[in-house]
């Protein structure tokens, strides 16, 4: 509440206050931030620049665009494409489900006491990623998982085969066997299903403040002017929330795109997605060209950076209304 106003008021006071000790030497002001800049230069900026620059060099040391062009092979294109699909669908579904859960508690009349547990749980679940998350899903929908076995023994549904042996009681309605798309945890959709476990809570955490920013007056004004609930949503609430929703989706996309550990623990090297390909390249130069590895990493930076830039831009737009 008052937090937003505080820095503006504190900044001039802070700048003038307590300046006695180092005013004598010029540049002494900057000395205090030197350790920070040294640290980020050594362990964040330089390593990243090394990769970015390496993407544009030949093994001999000259400059080239060939590495970036060489990314356009079938297997690398495919890896990026699967990554983009996984990130896109997990971001889209995460956005929709997270929004629905948050809106259900904040706006749609669920008891208010549900909000705090939801936010607390979201804080935990959004940080429960990586290897253990993969184990949880293997234990649930893996080949011998809880739900897999239950569906098979009690309902006759075999997920891996995409086959439903319809129980006798229902055979008057359906044929003896129903086919449906196969599902295994070691597939694109298995990965999406697993990623949703940290995508939905992240969405809940970042969209709840935006939903709470919808003022009651706007709804009342719309009602007074004769709008139905649907018209209020379509013409007032959704246009205001749209930049937030799209921004969150961009953030979720970047979040999924950089995830490595969950995918490796879940599928091993079986699934061809960009982070796993890069992981294999770092371990053993599977592409047979170190500079092509740099270009692969550069592609990942470009995609996550674009998604984040989109998020920042859209958030700035949404703050026009929700502040």
Partner 1 sequence: MRAFAWGAFVLGALYFVLPLWGMTEFSLSMRRGEYSFDAYRSVLAMPDFQATFAFSAFMALVTIVVGVLIVVPTAFWVRLKVPELRPVIEFITLLPLVIPAIVIVFGYIRLYNTGSWLPLTGTAMGTNLLLAMGYTVLALPYMYRAVDTGLRTIDVGTLTEAAQSLGAGWATILGRVILPNVLSAVLSGAFLTFAIVIGEFTMAALLDRPAFGPFMQRLGQDRAYEPSALAVIAFAITWGCMGLIGLVSRTQKHTRAAR
| Nearest residue to 76 via CA among 306, 295, 258, 263 | 295
Q: Does 202 bind partner 1 (CB under 8 A)?
A: no
Nearer CB in complex with partner 1: 29/182: 29
Nearer CB in complex with partner 1: 37/81: 37
Q: Strands of 163-165's sheet, edge to edge?
A: 157-158, 163-165, 177-179
Nearer CB in complex with partner 1: 166/265: 265
Q: Of residues 86, 125, 210, 246, which one binds partner 1 by CB under 8 A?
A: 125
Q: Does 175 bind partner 1 (CB under 8 A)?
A: no
Q: Does 155 bind partner 1 (CB under 8 A)?
A: no
Distance (Å, rounded) from C-alpha 133 to C-alpha 139?
10
Helix residue spans in 45-152 (DSSP H): 46-54, 66-70, 74-106, 115-127, 131-141, 146-150
| Nearest residue to 156 via CA among 177, 182, 185, 181 | 177
Which tokens go with 251? 């953030």
Size of the site for partner 1 (CB under 8 A): 91
How far apart, in Å, are the Cα atoms of 51 and each of 59, 83, 145, 290, 302?
Answer: 13, 20, 41, 10, 12
Nearer CB in complex with partner 1: 103/322: 103
Q: Which of residues 69-98 bind partner 1 (CB under 8 A)?
A: 97
Contact 140, 147 (CB under 8 A): yes
Q: Of residues 279, 286, 310, 322, which one binds partner 1 by CB under 8 A?
A: 279
Q: Of residues 86, 105, 206, 292, which one binds partner 1 by CB under 8 A?
A: 105
Q: Which of residues 14-53 bind partner 1 (CB under 8 A)?
A: 14-22, 29-30, 32-33, 35-36, 39-40, 42-44, 46-51
Q: Of residues 79, 95, 141, 207, which one binds partner 1 by CB under 8 A?
A: 141
């Amino acid at each position: 509440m008052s937090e937003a106003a505080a820095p503006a008021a504190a900044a001039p006071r802070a700048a003038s206050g307590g300046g006695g000790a180092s005013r004598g030497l010029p540049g002494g002001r900057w000395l205090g931030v030197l350790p920070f800049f040294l640290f980020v230069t050594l362990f964040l900026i330089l390593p990243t620049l090394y990769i970015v620059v390496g993407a544009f060099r030949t093994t001999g040391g000259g400059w080239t665009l060939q590495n970036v062009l060489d990314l356009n092979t079938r297997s690398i294109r495919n890896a990026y494409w699967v990554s983009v699909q996984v990130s896109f669908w997990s971001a889209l579904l995460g956005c929709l489900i997270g929004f629905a859960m948050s809106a259900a508690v904040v706006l749609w009349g669920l008891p208010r006491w549900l909000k705090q547990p939801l936010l607390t749980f979201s804080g935990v679940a959004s940080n429960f990623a990586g290897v253990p998350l993969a184990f949880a899903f293997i234990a649930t929908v893996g080949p011998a998982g809880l739900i897999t076995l239950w569906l098979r023994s009690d309902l006759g549904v075999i997920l891996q085969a995409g086959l439903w042996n319809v129980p006798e009681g229902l055979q008057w309605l359906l044929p003896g066997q129903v086919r449906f798309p196969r599902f295994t945890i070691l597939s694109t959709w298995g990965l999406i299903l697993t990623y949703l476990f940290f995508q939905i809570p992240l969405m809940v955490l970042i969209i709840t403040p935006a939903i709470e920013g919808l003022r009651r007056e706007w709804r009342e004004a719309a009602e007074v002017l004769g709008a139905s609930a649907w018209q209020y949503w379509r013409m007032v609430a959704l246009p205001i929330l749209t930049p937030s929703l799209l921004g969150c989706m961009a953030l979720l996309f970047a979040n999924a795109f950089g995830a490595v550990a969950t995918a490796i623990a879940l599928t091993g090297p079986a699934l061809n997605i960009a982070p796993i390909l890069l992981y294999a390249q770092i371990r053993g130069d599977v592409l047979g060209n170190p500079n092509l590895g740099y270009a692969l990493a550069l592609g990942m930076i470009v995609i996550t950076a674009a998604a984040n830039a989109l998020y920042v831009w859209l958030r700035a737009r949404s703050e026009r209304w929700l502040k």
